[in-house]
Amino acid sequence: MGRTLVELFYDVISPYSWLGFEVLCRYQHIWNIDLRFRPAFLGGIMQQTGNKPPAMLPERAEYMLKDIKRMAKYYQVPVHVPRDAFQSILATSSLAAMRFITAIDMTNQQYLEPLSREFWMRFWSQHEDISQPENILTVARQAGLSAELSQKALEMISSPTVKDRLKETTAEAIKYGAFGMPAVVAHCDGEPHLFFGSDRLELLGSVIGEKWLGPVPS
Strand order in the sheet with 4-10: 33-39, 4-10, 183-188, 191-196
Euclidean distance between CA atoms 68 and 204, whole angstroms: 21
Give which of 79, 72, 12, 66 is closest to 39, Cα–Cα.
12
| Whether the Cβ atoms of residue 201 and residue 195 lie closer than 8 Å to each other | yes
Catalytic residues: 14
CB 33 within 8 A of CB 3: yes
Q: Identity (one letter) of the amino acid at 153? A: A
Q: Give the N- to C-terminal CA distance of the chain in Å, as an integer.
A: 24
Let me know: does 48 contact 174? Beta carbons within 8 Å.
yes
